[in-house]
């Protein structure tokens, strides 16, 4: 369908505005011209697109419906409608919109990718694999291989998980995300050498990859190569000074190396950044308890209870500390709470 030259210019201008994030300007231009083009679906498509970017889902759906009233089988409108319903978590309507695209034109394979992502989102893994499989009949895709590997892993199908990861690696050998995903799979299998190898490959691709550095530090820690692990987590903190988990692992490693002073410093940094980190509070309290600094041990355990007063381990440990400190009455009171919570 050929458009009126003025409408064509309006659509082009507003498309550019939407692409540059100037959605409100685009909407103003489009709505000011609605009376002139009330029977032209492209103006409603762009309004739906602009409102979708602004996360005004109700307005987006309203205008997209008007576009479909004019041209019921327009593929662009159906794709946008599916996206709008997806954002609204209206899974049935999103599926209906995207499936209609495949019914109209089976070669519009990108719709199968959207359908697969939706099924993955709602935990319908078998349906997701079927949809992604149909998409892959038309195009190889790193993201889809990665998602399929994740799905097969969740389903306990290790062979298919590996098949998808190998296809992805073959397609893009230097893909950081895939290298990390392969490393994570080796880590789960306790094949630390292979895990380390792939995390290091990911770091060669991106020397400041925070996920790769974290997983590399974790792999060295699990391998009990504590010196290497300390170096990696320290580098990660240089890149991301507020990484709470990095401080926590540094503290754990320092404790394993009997460097108690350094362990205390890192646990305290961890809690300074996230006071609700219960495991850090309990670990720090245990160190203070071991050094007979009962007051600080009790302080950190009571701090932990401010965020979670339902953890039996905290009350048990608090009772143990009070017992060592000579306060049997408080020790028994905390042990009693721990017993009640364990039931």
Give 151-192 pLDDT, tens digit per residue.
999 999 989 999 999 999 999 999 999 999 999 999 998 999
Residue 100 included in any domain = no
Instruction: Identify the domain containing residue 321 by its residue range.
Output: 280-343
Q: Give me the number of domains the chain comprises.
A: 1
Considering the entire predicted model, what is its pTM?
0.82
Residue 16 included in any domain = no
Q: CA 151 to CA 61: how far, in whole Å? A: 31
pLDDT 10s digits, 310-328 = 999 999 999 999 999 999 9
pLDDT 10s digits, 32-54 = 999 888 899 999 999 999 999 99
Cβ(199)–Cβ(180) under 8 Å?
Answer: yes
Give percent above pLDDT 70 in the chain.
99
The whole-number pLDDT of residue 38 equals: 87
Residue 223 included in any domain = no
The whole-number pLDDT of residue 273 equals: 95
Residue 82 included in any domain = no
Q: CA 184 to CA 300: how far, in whole Å? A: 33
Q: pLDDT-derived band of residue 4, with 50, 70 and 90 as boundaries?
A: confident
Q: CA 128 to CA 147: how far, in whole Å? A: 9
Q: CA 274 to CA 265: how far, in whole Å? A: 14
pLDDT 10s digits, 223-256 = 999 999 999 999 999 999 999 999 999 999 999 9
CATH number at residue 337: 1.25.40.10
Cβ(301)–Cβ(321) under 8 Å?
Answer: yes
The whole-number pLDDT of residue 107 equals: 84
Q: CA 324 to CA 298: how far, in whole Å? A: 11
The whole-number pLDDT of residue 3 equals: 66
SS (H, E, C) the chain: CCCCHHHHHHHHHHHHHHHCCCHHHHHHHHHHCCCCCCCCHHHHHHHHHHHHHCCCHHHHHHHHHHHHHHCCCCHHHHHHHHHHHHHCCCHHHHHHHHHHHHHHCCCCCHHHHHHHHHHHHCCCHHHHHHHHHHHHCCCCCHHHHHHHHHHHHHCCCHHHHHHHHHHHHHHCCCCHHHHHHHHHHHHHCCCHHHHHHHHHHHHHHCCCCHHHHHHHHHHHHHCCCHHHHHHHHHHHHHHCCCCHHHHHHHHHHHHHCCCHHHHHHHHHHHHHHCCCCHHHHHHHHHHHHHCCCHHHHHHHHHHHHHHCCCCHHHHHHHHHHHHHHCCHHHHHHHHHHHHHHHC
Residue 265 included in any domain = no
Residue 63 included in any domain = no
Residue 264 included in any domain = no
Residue 335 included in any domain = yes
């Amino acid at each position: 369908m050929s458009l009126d030259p003025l409408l064509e210019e309006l659509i082009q201008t507003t498309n550019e505005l939407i692409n540059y994030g100037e959605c409100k300007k685009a909407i103003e231009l489009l709505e000011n011209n609605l009376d002139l083009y009330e029977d032209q679906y492209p103006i409603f498509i762009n309004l739906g697109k602009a409102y979708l970017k602004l996360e005004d889902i109700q307005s987006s759906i309203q205008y997209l419906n008007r576009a479909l009233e004019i041209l019921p089988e327009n593929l662009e409108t159906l794709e946008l409608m599916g996206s709008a319903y997806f954002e609204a978590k209206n899974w049935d309507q999103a599926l209906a919109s995207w499936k209609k695209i495949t019914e109209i034109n089976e070669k519009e394979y990108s719709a199968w990718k959207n359908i697969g992502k939706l099924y993955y989102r709602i935990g319908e893994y078998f349906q997701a694999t079927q949809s992604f499989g149909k998409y892959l009949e038309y195009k190889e895709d790193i993201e889809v291989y990665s998602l399929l590997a994740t799905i097969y892993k969740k389903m306990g199908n290790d062979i298919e998980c590996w098949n998808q990861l190998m296809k992805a690696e073959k397609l893009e050998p230097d893909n950081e995300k895939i290298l990390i995903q392969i490393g994570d799979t080796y880590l789960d299998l306790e094949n630390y050498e292979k895990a380390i190898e792939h995390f290091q490959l990911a770091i060669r691709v991106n020397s400041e990859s925070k996920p790769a550095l974290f997983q590399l530090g974790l792999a060295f820690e699990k391998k009990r190569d504590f010196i290497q692990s300390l170096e990696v987590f320290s580098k990660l903190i240089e890149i991301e000074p507020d990484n709470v988990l990095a401080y926590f692992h540094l503290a754990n490693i320092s404790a394993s190396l009997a460097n108690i002073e350094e362990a205390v410093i890192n646990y305290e940094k961890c809690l300074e950044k996230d006071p609700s980190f219960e495991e850090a509070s309990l670990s720090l309290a245990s160190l203070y308890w071991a050094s007979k600094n009962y007051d600080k041990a009790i302080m950190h355990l009571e701090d932990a209870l401010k965020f979670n007063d339902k953890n039996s381990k905290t009350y048990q440990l608090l009772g143990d500390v009070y017992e060592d400190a000579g306060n049997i009455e408080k020790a028994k009171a905390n042990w009693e709470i721990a017993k009640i919570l364990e039931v």
